[in-house]
Amino acid sequence: MSKIGFIWVGKLKESFSKDGCALYWKKLSRFFKLDEAMVKDAPGKLPPADKNRKEGEGILAKLKPGDVLIILDEHGDRLTSRELAKRVRKWTDAPNQRPVFAIGGPFGLSDEVKKAARHKIRLSDMTLPHELARLLLLEQLYRAGTILKNMPYHHD
Confidence of residue 154 (pLDDT cuts 50, 70, 90): confident
- As a whole-number percent, the residues of the chain with pLDDT over 90 amount to 85
Which residue type, as a one-letter code, is found at position 88? V
| Strand 98-103 relative to strand 67-78, pairing | parallel
Would the pLDDT of 61 be above 90? yes
The region, left, alpha or beta by phi > 0 then psi within -120 to 50, assigned to residue 100 is beta
pLDDT number for residue 155: 81
Contact status, residue 137 vs residue 101, Cβ threshold 8 Å? yes
Q: Averaged over 54-75, what is the pLDDT?
A: 96
Q: Which domains does the chain have, with CATH numbers?
A: 3-148 (3.40.1280.10)
For residues 151 and 126, give the distance between their C-alpha atoms in angstroms, rounded to a whole number: 29
Nearest to 21 by CA among 111, 141, 115: 141
What CA–CA distance (Å, rounded) separates 116 from 69?
Answer: 7
How far apart CA 4 and CA 18 sit, in angstroms, is 19
Over 80: is that where the pLDDT of 156 sits? no
Question: Does this model's pTM top 0.85?
Answer: yes
Q: With 80 as the cut, is the pLDDT of residue 1 above it?
A: no
